[in-house]
């Protein structure tokens, strides 16, 4: 039977972790769970074989750690409504006779879309490649923001390149949002300062990604899954 690097079989190791999670231990890193998942990911056969148990453990730990959760359909509806509010702000910017109001409305649209489109893009890209999601929640570094919990069983069964695409989609949507709002500036009477604020918002988000996301968020996960894809290709050679 296949063994994890610690000498335990995968079966024994996952069973041990699942028992620990059932008793209320939700720190999967300390339990060695993610080390095992990295090993499983390196082999598509192992990924498929252990997907259900990995997904079950991950979900149980998440639910033990995050008490306030929302159905995916509700979260998507709220974010879609927010996206429509952003579109409404653009309409205000194009129709108002007040230049200042037009500028504020365009900035509001860019900011609203940056927040609302992130998880919607993750969800849409994930569903296209067969990745499911279990909950919305509020978390992350300050300020708190919506989060979308992956169903890890379906995640493991998706090819790593498609997992990388899902992670990249949200990051790209967030970065495009301010510039999408900026595209309407030319057709409005909004002042120049509003255009510069939107450019600054977009550039700050790009800089944040370069400085932080490559180490701890979406782009780190993109690099991780592309690395897994390279391992899979090398196994086929």
Query: Is the dihedral angle over the CA atoms 194, 196, 199, 201 positive or is it negative?
Result: negative
Paired with 135 in beta bridges are: 149
pLDDT in tens, 141-187: 666 778 999 999 999 999 999 999 999 999 999 999 999 999 999 99
- Of 100-114, 134-148, 200-214, the range with the highest mean pLDDT is 100-114
Mean pLDDT, the chain, integer: 92
pLDDT computed for residue 19 by the predictor: 96
pLDDT in tens, 3-39: 665 668 999 999 999 999 999 998 999 999 999 999 9
Mean pLDDT of 72-84: 97
pLDDT in tens, 205-235: 999 888 876 677 889 999 999 999 999 988 7
pLDDT computed for residue 125 by the predictor: 97
- Each domain of the chain, given as residue ranges in start order, spans 10-65, 69-236
pLDDT computed for residue 236 by the predictor: 73
- 3-state SS, the chain, equals CCECCCCCEHHHHHHHHHHHHHCCCCCCCCCCHHHHHHHHHCCHHHHHHHHHHHHHHHHHHHHHHCCCEECHHHHHHHHHHHHHHHHHHHHHHHHCCCHHHHHHHHHHHHHHHHHHHHHHHHHHHHHHCCCCEEEEEEECCCCCEEEEEECHHHHHHCCHHHHHHHHHHHHHHHHHHHHHHHCCHHHCCCCHHHHHHHHHHHHHHHHHHHHHHHHHCHHHHHHHHHHHHHHHHHHHC
How distant, in Å, are the alpha carbons of 145, 157, 183 from that of 132? 20, 11, 33
């Amino acid at each position: 039977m296949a063994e994890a690097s610690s000498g335990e079989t995968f079966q024994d190791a996952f069973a041990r972790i699942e028992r620990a999670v059932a008793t209320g231990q939700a720190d999967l890193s300390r339990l060695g769970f993610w080390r095992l998942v990295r090993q499983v990911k390196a082999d598509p056969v192992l990924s498929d074989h252990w997907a259900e148990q990995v997904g079950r453990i991950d979900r149980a730990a998440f639910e033990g750690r995050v008490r306030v959760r929302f159905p995916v359909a509700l979260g998507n509806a709220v974010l879609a409504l927010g996206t429509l509010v952003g579109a409404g702000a653009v309409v205000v910017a194009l129709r108002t006779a007040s230049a200042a109001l037009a500028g504020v409305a365009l900035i509001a649209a860019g900011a609203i879309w940056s927040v609302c489109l992130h998880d919607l893009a993750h969800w849409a890209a994930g569903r296209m490649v067969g990745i499911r999601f279990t909950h919305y929640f509020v978390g992350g570094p300050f300020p708190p923001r919506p989060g979308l919990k992956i169903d890890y069983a379906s995640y493991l069964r998706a090819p790593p390149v498609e997992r990388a695409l899902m992670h990249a989609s949200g990051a790209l949507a967030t970065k495009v949002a301010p510039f999408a709002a900026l595209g309407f500036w030319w057709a409005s009477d909004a002042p120049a300062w509003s255009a510069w604020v939107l450019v600054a918002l977009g550039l700050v988000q790009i800089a944040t990604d370069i400085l932080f996301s490559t180490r701890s968020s979406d782009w780190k996960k993109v690099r991780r899954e592309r690395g897994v894809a390279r391992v899979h290709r090398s196994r086929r050679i």
